[in-house]
Structures are given as C-alpha cells and as structure tokens.
Amino acid sequence: MHAYTTTQALVTILVIAAVTFFTRAFPFLLFGRKGNPPGYVLYLGKVLPPAIIAMLVVYCLKGVTPFTYPYGLPELISVTAVVALHVWKRNNLLSIFGGTALYMILVQVVFR
Amino acid sequence: MNKKTFQAALSATIPVMLGYLSIGIAFGVMLQTQAGYNFLWAGGMSVIIYAGSMQYLAVDLLARGAGLLEVVVMTLLVNSRHMVYGLSMLTKFKGMGKRKWYMIFSLTDETYALLSSARVPVGVEPKSYYFTIALLDQSYWIMGSLIGAVAGSLIPFSTQGIDFAMTALFVVICTDQWLTYPTRIPAILGAACALVALILVGASNMLIPAMLALILIFFIGRKQIEPKFDVMKTANGQEG
C-alpha cells in the first residue's frame, strides 16, 4: 500500500526536484550575471574545493565505529592502501580499484 | 562530442560509474521494497531529481507520506551543500550556452569532485569534456536505479562494500590536491570542521554546520589564506 495517492507522490517528487535544482542554481542566479562576481566569492571558489573534498572524505567515513568491532579497521586499511597506491603510481583507476577490491574482501571475508 | 572526448570522459568517470551503479542499485531496491514504487518511479526520480542522498531520504518520505513542508525543508537542508559547489563553477561554466543549465542541474558531489579536479587532456575541448562527464555520471545513476528496481534481488555475488569506490575517489582527489596545491590549509580546515561536526552533532546532520563553520573560518582567515593561493602553481600531473 502507498501512503500517498499517485498525484501526491508525483507532487512530492517534483517538489524535491525543484528544490534540489534551486540549491544548485543559487550561486549562478546570484552571481552569474554579467560582470565578475565579487572578490570574496572568487576567493571562496578557490579555497572551497580542496576543503570540501577533505570534508567529503570524512563524511564518507562517518559510519565508521572506532570503539566497536571492527573498529574502523577495514576503512583505515583501505584508505591507507588508496593513499599509498596513489602516492606510488599516481594512477587514479589503479588506486580506486585496488582500494575498493581490498575493502570488499575485508568487509565480506576478513571482518565478517 | 567526438570520440576522443568521450573516451577521456569515460575513463575519468569510471570510479563514479562503480559508485553510482552500486548506490543506484541500492536506491532502486529500497524504493521498490520499502515504499512500493517500481522501476518507472526509480528511473523517473533519477532523471529529474538526481541527488543520491536526497533520493535515499525520499524513499522514507514516500513510504510514510510526509507533508510537503517537511519535504521542502528536508530537501533544502540536505542539498544546501550544493549552493557552495556552484561558487567554484561560476567561471568554469561560463560560455557553455544551453548546456550550462544541464551542468547546473547535474552538479552532484561526485560530478563536482571530478570537474573541480579535472585536467583536460590535450586536444580535447574543455566544455564538451565537462558536459560529457556530467552526462555520463547521470546515465550511470539512472542505470543503477533501474537495475536495482528491476533485478536487485538477482545479482549473483555480494556487492557489499563496492560503494567504497566513492570514498576512494575522494581520497584520491584529496591526495592529489595535498601533493600539488601550494597550501594544505583549506584541506586541513575542511577535514577538521567535518570531524568536529561529526563528533558534536552526529553523522546525519554534520554537513551543514561543518560547511557554515568552514565558510566562517575562511572569511575570518582570508588575509592569511588568500596570499598562499596566489602563488598557486599549475597542477601538471599525469592523466589517470
């Protein structure tokens, strides 16, 4: 059974889509017109990418449980492997595939 | 879009392909089993919403028939990080004509990560390279949700853990930036804000306070941080 009627479900989905698009378009609507955006906006545009990538790494690992089994070990080992592979070979695909395969083995076989 | 552009974009997006296919499949399965909506709904949502974490939450909203106000507020909160992403794409998307609207629509975490770290291969036109990356990423997401909704229970081996590809992608980009950027301060601040927010407010609500704190710190420290960026050397590592 559905909690919504079909119309209600469609409206909900359309609203989510519209609000999502609004959040993505917001800076362009605000600063995307003719002329250059103000200096602080360009400054944020420069410093935010590395900061947010680092933030997303932490966010991806948010489910890790350092104090209960498996103590974040699969994540710790796999992230270390990705960094080591990448510093060594600088090959994006090798680092990502290698790390992911290792992680899958760790969570499926080793730390069951 | 020529063949070379397509091949370059395809190879750049393979990590996202792994990640999106697997979490897209999970979304399709969840929408089918928890909310009772079939592949048409899963595919349709991935075409017009196209936001991973929000679509996961939407399963819950649809399953319990949440009120519209709650839907609006939740979408705003969960996706507010995208407001920040556009800031670094203002100049990158300039002069893309009609494709710019699609670029804005499709600016997910992963596409943002790829675009902000993209090194356009020699002989490839940057704008169509960016556009192809964005388009491929969404196609993986749509495919994943369709597969999940139709055949989620039929996959013969365990894919548990395959979503780590997404984490690995961010780690790789972070490592690249760590090694090539003139300053590591932004990366350290970003990770620190995220960690503090994770500890203080917990996993599900961490991103918004973390980003607000980060932006505040960047404003306060602008005089110290900005000069370090102006000596930025061009990142000239090899292609992946």
- Tell me the domain boundaries of chain B: 3-157
DSSP state string for chain A: --SS-HHHHHHHHHHHHHHHHHHHHHHHHHH-SSSPPPHHHHHHHHHHHHHHHHHHHHHHTTT--TTSTTTTHHHHHHHHHHHHHHHHH--HHHHHHHHHHHHHHIIIII--
Determine, yes or no, domain membership for A30. no
Summarised one tens digit per residue, pLDDT across range A7-51 is 999 999 999 999 999 999 998 998 876 666 788 877 887 888 889
**pLDDT for residue B234 is more than 80:** no
Instruction: Say yes or no for a CB contact (<8 Å) between B79 and A106.
Output: no
Helices (H), chain B: 3-30, 39-48, 52-64, 68-79, 81-87, 99-105, 109-117, 126-151, 164-180, 185-201, 207-220, 222-230
The CA distance from B165 to the nearest CA of chain A, in Å, is: 5
Are A24 and B105 inside 8 Å of each other by CB? Answer: yes
Report residue B233's pLDDT band, with 50, 70 and 90 as the boundaries: very low
Query: What tokens were used for A74?
Result: 């699969």
Domain membership of residue A80 (yes or no) is: yes
| Nearest residue of chain A to residue B80 (CA atoms) | A23
The CA angle A96-A99-A100, to the nearest 5 degrees, is: 80
pLDDT over 70 (residue B240): no
Q: Please check whether residue A28 is in contact with residue B86, taking contact to mean a CB–CB distance below 8 angstroms.
A: yes
Query: Which of chain B's residues have a Cβ under 8 Å away from the Cβ of A99?
Result: 164, 168, 171
Per-residue model confidence (pLDDT) at position B139: 98
Residue owning tokens 């969960």: B78
Measured CA to CA, the distance from residue B63 to residue B58 in angstroms comes to 8
- pLDDT score of B45: 97
CA B64 to chain centre: 27
Shortest CA gap A31–chain B (Å)? 8
pLDDT at residue B237 tops 50: no
> Is residue A38 included in any domain, yes or no?
no
Chain A partners within 8 Å of B142 (Cβ): none
Q: Can you tell me the mean pLDDT for B72-97?
A: 85
Quote the number of domains for chain A: 1
Cβ pair A22, B107 in contact under 8 A: no
* Residue B207, token pair as written in the block: 């991103």
Cβ density class B72-109: b for 16+ within 10 Å, e for less: bebbeebbebbbbbbbbbbebbeebeebbeebbbbbbb
Task: Tell me how far apart the alpha carbons of residues B90 and A17 are, in angstroms, rounded to a whole number.
Answer: 22
- Closest CB to A50 among B48, B109, B190: B190
CB contact under 8 A, B240 and A92: yes
Angstrom distance (rounded) from CA B83 to CA A59? 17
Mean pLDDT of the region B203-231: 87
pLDDT number for residue B147: 92
Q: Which residues does chain A have within 8 Å of residue B35's beta carbon, measured at their own beta carbons?
A: 2-3
Closest CB to B165 among A27, A62, A96: A96
Question: Please, which residues 12-71 of chain A have a Cβ atom closer than 8 Å to chain B?
Answer: 12-17, 19-21, 23-28, 31-32, 37, 40-41, 43-63
Percent of chain A with pLDDT over 70: 96
* Inter-chain residue contact A63 with B203, CB threshold 8 Å: yes
Q: Note the pLDDT of residue B197.
A: 95
What's the CA angle centered on B55, arms B57 and B127, to 5 degrees? 140
- Roughly how many angstroms between the first and final C-alpha of chain B, as a whole number? 21
**Cα-Cα-Cα-Cα dihedral sign, residues B10, A27, B145, A99:** positive
Contact in structure between B15 and A101 (CB atoms under 8 Å) = no
| Domain range for A84 | 64-112
Contact B68 A11 (CB under 8 A): yes
The answer for residues whose C-beta is within 8 angstroms of residue B239's C-beta and 6 or more apart is B8, B119, B121
Q: Which of B25, B40, B34 is nearest to B62 (CA)?
A: B34
Per-residue pLDDT at B232 exceeds 60: no
CA-nearest of B95, B85, B74 to B115 is: B85
Task: Give the mean pLDDT of chain A.
Answer: 90
Cross-chain CB nearest to A24 (options B68, B86, B171): B86
> Mean pLDDT across the stretch B127-132?
96
